């Protein structure tokens, strides 16, 4: 949520997807922490999180805790259920027990490849909040949606469906990820991202109230690189990025985190 000053703290998050095993995750997180330390990065100024595969989380937790890194981490998905006969699922309680602070919910790859519906995503958001995790709720339109319905209709509808049951003041992060921009190398323009982010924030006012809507970080995701991050971060309603491919490249991700050094470029 917002910092005490009422300003939203920028948030740069790396979604590793199904990349880096637990040994590779240790090496990567260590190098990232060193790189940001060398650059004198302050985590109060720009919050940073990584979202490794489930099998890496224990290793990342152990490292972060032992070396007192300020880096946050979370899961890439969560079960709608607490426990029981749900083979292959991971409970929010388990993520919380590993010190996860965040969990990605409703990523377009899960909506598409795992047929996740708005109802299931809403149940997962509720489960995350119940277990004290901050959902990073992903919404976004396909190229076809964009042509048929314009830029913000589908993301706003997805947001409303996912948050229908949450209470006023809920602590969430929203990631606007146009499906056509994910992994395509063709990012949205900063103006396109801002247009949709502004609509999402308006919808948030109705869903969680003005104060929480003002405090909610809205991220842009889809082919974010060190060369285009500054443009997104200049937008009023864009508060950070959910980075896929470039989050696996140490120099790139580190540079994205330090976007404030190149906002003028
Ligand atoms: P890319 O940055 O690889 O386009 O992926 C974005 C994404 O899906 C992050 O969740």
Please give the CATH architecture assigned to the domain spanning 3-261.
Alpha-Beta Barrel (3.20)
Give percent of the chain with pLDDT exceeding 90.
96
Q: Which two tokens stand for residue 111?
A: 């909506």
What's the confidence (pLDDT) of residue 264?
57
What's the confidence (pLDDT) of residue 69?
97
Other beta carbons within 10 Å of 196: 26
Is residue 85 over pLDDT 90? yes
Distance between Cα 244 and ligand 1 center (Å) = 3
Q: Is 107 a catalytic residue?
A: yes
Q: Which two tokens stand for residue 125?
A: 């958001």
For residue range 155-198, what is the model confidence (pLDDT) as tens digits? 999 999 999 999 999 999 999 999 999 999 999 999 999 999 99
Is residue 4 over pLDDT 50? no
What's the confidence (pLDDT) of residue 262?
78
What's the confidence (pLDDT) of residue 5?
44
Is 14 close to ligand 1, i.e. is its CB under 6 Å away? no
Say if CB 174 and CB 212 are below 8 A apart.
no
For residue range 29-58, what is the model confidence (pLDDT) as tens digits? 999 999 999 999 999 999 999 999 999 999
Compute CA distances 180 → 67, 183, 187, whole Å: 39, 8, 8
Atom 5, ligand 1: residue with shortest CA distance: 244
Is residue 23 over pLDDT 80? yes
- CA quadruple 82, 86, 91, 97: dihedral sign: positive
Each domain of the chain, given as residue ranges in start order, spans: 3-261
Give a three-class secondary structure readout of the chain. Answer: CCCCCCCCCCEEEEECCCCCCHHHHHHHHHHHHHHHHHCCCCCCCCEEEEECCHHHHHHHHHHHHHCCCCCEEEECCCCCCCCCCCCCCCCHHHHHHCCCCEEEECCHHHHHHCCCCHHHHHHHHHHHHHCCCEEEEEECCCHHHHHHHCCCHHHHHHHHHHHCCCCCCCCCEEEECCHHHCCCCCCCCHHHHHHHHHHHHHHHHHHHCHHHHHHCEEEEECCCCCCCHHHHHCCCCCCEEEECHHHHCHHHHHHHHCHHHCCCC
Q: Is 177 a catalytic residue?
A: yes
Other beta carbons within 10 Å of 253: 25
d(CA 60, CA 119): 31
Is 228 close to ligand 1, i.e. is its CB under 6 Å away? no
Give percent of the chain with pLDDT exceeding 70.
97
149 alpha carbon, distance to own chain's centre: 25
Distance between Cα 4 and ligand 1 center (Å) = 30
* Average pLDDT over all residues of the chain: 96
Mean pLDDT to the nearest integer, 133-161: 97
d(CA 246, CA 55): 21
Say if CB 122 and CB 162 are below 8 A apart.
yes
Compute CA distances 119 → 80, 102, 130, whole Å: 10, 20, 17
d(CA 196, CA 189): 11
Residues with Cβ within 8 Å of residue 158, at least 6 apart in sequence? 106, 118, 121, 139, 140
Is residue 3 over pLDDT 80? no
d(CA 241, CA 120): 24
Distance between Cα 261 and ligand 1 center (Å) = 23
What's the confidence (pLDDT) of residue 1?
52
Where residue 263 falls among pLDDT bands split at 50, 70, 90? low
For residue range 206-227, what is the model confidence (pLDDT) as tens digits? 999 999 999 999 999 999 999 9
What's the confidence (pLDDT) of residue 79?
98
* Mutate-to-test residue for ligand 1 from 49, 220, 224, highest number of ligand atoms within 8 A of CB: 224
């Amino acid at each position: 949520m917002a910092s005490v000053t009422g300003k939203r703290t920028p948030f740069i998050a790396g979604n590793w997807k199904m990349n880096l095993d637990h040994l590779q995750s240790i090496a990567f997180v260590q190098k990232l922490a060193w790189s940001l330390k060398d650059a004198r990065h302050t985590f109060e100024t720009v919050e940073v999180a990584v979202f490794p595969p489930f099998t890496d989380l224990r290793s990342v937790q152990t490292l972060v805790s032992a070396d007192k890194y300020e880096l946050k981490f979370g899961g890439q998905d969560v079960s709608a259920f607490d426990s029981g006969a749900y083979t292959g699922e991971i409970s929010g309680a388990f993520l919380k027990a590993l010190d996860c602070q965040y969990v990605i919910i409703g990523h377009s790859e899960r909506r598409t490849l795992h047929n996740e519906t708005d109802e299931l995503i809403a149940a997962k958001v509720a489960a995350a909040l119940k277990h004290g995790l901050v959902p990073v709720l992903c919404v976004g339109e396909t190229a076809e949606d964009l042509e048929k319905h314009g830029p913000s209709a589908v993301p706003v509808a997805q947001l409303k469906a996912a948050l229908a049951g949450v209470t006023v003041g809920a602590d969430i992060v929203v990631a606007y990820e146009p499906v056509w921009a994910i992994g395509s190398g063709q990012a949205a323009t900063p103006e396109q991202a801002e247009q949709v982010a502004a609509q999402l924030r308006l919808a948030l006012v109705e869903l969680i109230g003005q104060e929480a809507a003002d405090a909610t970080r809205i991220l842009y995701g889809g082919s974010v690189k060190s060369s285009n991050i500054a443009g997104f971060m200049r937008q009023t309603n864009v508060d950070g990025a959910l980075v896929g491919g470039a989050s696996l490249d140490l120099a790139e991700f580190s540079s994205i985190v330090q976007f404030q050094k190149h906002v003028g470029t």
